[in-house]
Amino acid sequence: MSKHLKAIDRLLSRPKDYTYNEMRTLLGQLGYSEYTKGKTSGSRVMFWNSETNHIINLHKPHPGNIVKSYAIDELIDCLKEKGLI
């Protein structure tokens, strides 16, 4: 099984220890780039796919690196809606 498929399977299992770095890597594999609005953006992060012009807005976890369960659910729903998973 490829890393790409393993990463999707891990996301779909909705793990309690899913990290922001894992999420950023998976989205990168799916063609998304991370954008922040600078120092004033707070915890909002935008991922943009230049091929499809699709944007995913998420909250970056803080102070830790573990993604909240609601953000995992939002990400899964968004990727399913686009047919990426």
Q: Check whether 1 has a pLDDT greater than 80.
A: no
Task: Please state the domain extents for the chain.
Answer: 3-81
Q: Using alpha carbons only, what angle is made at residue 18 by residues 24 and 84, rounded to the nearest 5 degrees?
A: 55
Pick the more confident residue, 3 or 67: 67
Q: Is 49 exposed, middle or buried (0-12, 13-18, 19+ CB in 10 A)?
A: middle
Sign (positive/negative) of CA torsion 68, 41, 83, 6? negative
Q: What is the pLDDT of residues 11-31, one digit of tens each?
A: 999 999 999 999 999 999 999
